[in-house]
Structure 1
Amino acid sequence: MPTAAKAVAALAFALVAYFAAQGVKAPGVMPEGTQFGLFSEITAAIGFLCGWIVMGGLVGRGYGEAAASGLRVSVTILFWALLGFAIYDMVLLSTKLRYDGPMEAVLDVFNIMMVNGRRILTVEILGILAVGGVLAGCAAEWAGKRWK
């Protein structure tokens, strides 16, 4: 059921994910010549869904729990974004016949996730996710209290 808390959580976490994606585009994070395309927009959509589904159901427990839940949602966004883009990279590699079989392709998804995860483990990106997650969680809690 749609609520104001879910809407605020979805919009707030979409913004957090968008700004984190913009941080990934900073020079020195990803290899030179990386084509990003709709990376920021897709990541924002992942943030929107995670905010609505995960954080939307966790409001109403107080601001301390909201801050912790906001961090949880930021980690969830990070996981789903890494997984989604790793699957996308694997499909691109498989169309170039880089794998000997389907199992090798599936296993490479986790390798791609680890490589990309190590690349984006910077203070700036983790700071955006942590601070943004706490603030977005508190904003969702505020909306839940404000518009019951």
Structure 2
Amino acid sequence: MISSNKLVAAICLAISGGLVAEFVKPQMPEGSNPGQMTMISAGIGLVVGWRVMGRRAGRSGAVELGLVGVVSMVFWGLLMFGLIEMLRLAMRRRLDEPVEALERAITVSMEYGLYLLHPTVLVTLAVSAVVSGHFTNFAARRWG
């Protein structure tokens, strides 16, 4: 069901996901192809904002709500990019066994996680958590 807090949370995390992806791109190695990283990250933020933050709005503090949303977005984003890379390598027949494919997905997810440790990215995640939490809780109080 559509509610204002779900909509606000989805928009906030979609913007946050897109911004974080744009700040991660310069941290990636030279010659790597980020592809549709910004759109995928924004899409993950949209879904996580709707499903995770939107449901919890009004029942917890703004900072807590924002942190839960951003951590969930980062987790699902890292998992998604690991799986995308695994599928890309599997389609090129570079992986021999399913276990090797899962190991590669986890390795890529961890590598992408290291890109998030840059100060610009960390500050963006922290600020977006606070702002998203406050906007979502405001929408839940005002229109929910």
TM range (shorter): over 0.9
Out of 77, 81, 87, the residue aligned to residue 85 of structure 1 is: 81
Q: 2:131 aligned with 1:135, yes or no?
A: yes
Q: What is the match of residue 6 of structure 1?
A: 6
The secondary structure found in structure 1 opposite 2:32 is: coil
Q: Distance in 2 between matches of 1:119 and 1:44?
A: 17
Q: Normalised by the size of structure 2, how large is the TM-score?
A: 0.94
Alignment RMSD? 1.2
Q: What is the match of residue 70 of structure 1?
A: 66
Amino acid paired to 1:120 = L
The secondary structure found in structure 1 opposite 2:49 is: helix
Asked if the contact 1:71–1:133 (Cα under 8 Å) also holds between the matched residues in 2, the reply is: yes
Identical aligned residues as a percent: 37
How far does the alpha carbon of each residue in 1:83-136 deviate from its partner, in whole angstroms, 9 at most, with x for none?
111111111112232222111111221111112211331111111111101111
Asked if the contact 1:21–1:40 (Cα under 8 Å) also holds between the matched residues in 2, the reply is: yes
Q: Distance in 1 between matches of 2:103 and 2:25?
A: 26
Unaligned runs of 5+ in 1: none
Amino acid paired to 1:3 = S
- Residues 17-28 of structure 1 correspond to what in structure 2 (within 5 A)? 17-26=17-26
Q: What is the match of residue 16 of structure 1?
A: 16
Q: What is the match of residue 43 of structure 2?
A: 45
The secondary structure found in structure 2 opposite 1:135 is: helix
Q: 2:94 aligned with 1:98, yes or no?
A: yes
Amino acid paired to 1:133 = A
How far does the alpha carbon of each residue in 1:61-103 deviate from its partner, in whole angstroms, 9 at most, with x for none?
35xx121111111111111111111111111112232222111
Q: Normalised by the size of structure 1, how large is the TM-score?
A: 0.91
Unaligned runs of 5+ in 2: none
Asked if the contact 1:58–1:66 (Cα under 8 Å) also holds between the matched residues in 2, the reply is: no
Q: What is the match of residue 116 of structure 2?
A: 120
How far does the alpha carbon of each residue in 1:22-44 deviate from its partner, in whole angstroms, 9 at most, with x for none?
10122xx1011222222101100
Amino acid paired to 2:110 = M
Amino acid paired to 1:84 = M
